[in-house]
Amino acid sequence: MSVLAVGLSHRSSPVALLERVALNGEARTKAVGEMVGSDSVNEVMVVSTCNRTEVYADVEAFHGGVAAITELLSWHSGVPLGELSEHLYVHYEDRAVQHLFSVTCGLDSMVVGEGQILGQVRDALKEGQDTGSVGRVLNDLGQRALRVGKRAHTETHLDHAGADMVSFGLTVAARDLGLGPTGADETTADRTVPAVGAVPPVGCPMSASAGDTGDGPGLARPSRGPLSGLRVLVLGAGSMSALSANTVSRQGAATVVVANRTPERAARLAECLTEAYDTVRSRSVPFADAAGVLADVDLVISCTGAQGLVLTADAVAAATAGRTRPLVFLDLALPRDIDPAVRDLPGVRLVDIEDLRLAAATGSAGGGGDRSSALTLVRGIVDEEVTEFRTVRRANQVTPTVVALRSQARDVVEAELSRLHGRLPDDIDDRTREEITRAMRRVADKLLHRPTVRVKELAAAPDGESYEAALRQLFDLDPKTPEALTASGGPSTAARSAQEKA
């Protein structure tokens, strides 16, 4: 069994294709179920964000796993296999592990170092656990990835060196708002005053944002920020929307209106903003009434996770007729929430994922400062953790063979003891018989101790699996015996399903 990663991201694919391949809700559940149901794939975890769709899998064979995953991605997304393959990347074993660790640290993000991806990987792992598509192999990998991501942010202060997706988007959108840079290094106009006891209320969406690592700073009440006086509409009430609402409030927005298909979530987010910021007027509106708010706001931030457009060009045109002030849309969703045709409307500006990708590629958004030192440290952490994960995993893989060897030796010893006791004189007392039994068992244990310790050590080396294979061949061992599987933790749920398929 081997780890495989197949995916596409902002680095390998145009946003239009990412939008088509994005699998959400029922489509993702069905695709994952069919992947795990294939002969070559045992476990699956899907990391799907506005910048990437990646499938991590425990597979029986490389070529079979790649074929099964790419064909099902093509089928469920409707993207022809040839077109999809041009933009896919594939990583195997250590490269796959290294890629997931790098992704979780934010090294592969559009905004390098952003912390939201940590929460998104956590959500992907939980989803796989809940649906049963993640078993022992990917659970261990996912848990280790989360550990690596937390180390990267706590040990290197990567959060301070980079930005998050929302801040980066606001920096790009600032030109259209006629403002100076936002979300960059702190300036006189961008300072915030820490609030005394400004802690999000229990259950507040802002207390569990996507990038929360559990040790970030509290909320702040703004003095005069770069968005001072602006009126903002936030579409959605999930983790990204909560982060957006918090960010614009911290940067000085005067009014924040929240619209969501679940009115209770929108109302709760608005309530949190009111409790956390003295100077922000916040309220919620029904999602169906969102277009009616456009005439009264300066900035719209949208990240709803909807499968279709949330605001069409016609709806925006009707709502902004006669407007003299510019209206800026920041669309962080994939698939897109805002109709790209709004770019053609007078006075309307749109910044979407494609604009952010281009800004990140050219460095035109500025900000961030010198991050080279933090990034070097993070890459070192990733390399260290990949090596440790490989060592632990290979040691675990050889455990069933070691257990099978010891089980075989125990059976031989017990058979010989049974034969010996039948031939010993009847006048030998029980104490002597027990001493003979212990002695023979000790001899077997001592003979096996060094080889079994050594094979675990050698398993961590390059081509280490060859030593375990040699042990199996020399002693004709079956590592799938019940005793061996029990000792190694037993097959995972997904692996048992794969065995049942066979």
50 is catalytic: yes
Report the run of H or E that residue 344 belongs to, with start and end: none
Q: Which residue has 């669309």 as its token pair?
A: 331
CA dihedral angle for residue 107, residue 108, residue 109, residue 112, rounded to 10 degrees:
30
Cβ neighbours of 171 (radius 10 Å) = 26
* Greatest CA separation for the chain: 113
* Cα(318)–Cα(342) distance, integer angstroms: 11
* Cα(20)–Cα(18) distance, integer angstroms: 5
Residue type, 202: V
Residue type, 274: T
Peptide bond into 335 cis (omega under 30): yes
Name residue 92's beta-bridge partners.
4
Q: Are strands 231-235 and 299-302 parallel, antiparallel or unpaired?
A: parallel
Query: The dihedral of CA 67, 72, 73, 74: what is its sign?
Result: positive
- Would you say 390 and 460 are in contact if contact means Cβ atoms under 8 Å apart? yes
* Cα(206)–Cα(325) distance, integer angstroms: 30
- Would you say 149 and 374 are in contact if contact means Cβ atoms under 8 Å apart? no
User: Which listed residue (50, 204, 272, 303) is catalytic?
Assistant: 50
Q: Is 363 exposed, middle or buried (0-12, 13-18, 19+ CB in 10 A)?
A: exposed
Q: Is 189 exposed, middle or buried (0-12, 13-18, 19+ CB in 10 A)?
A: middle
Supply the residues annotated as catalytic: 50
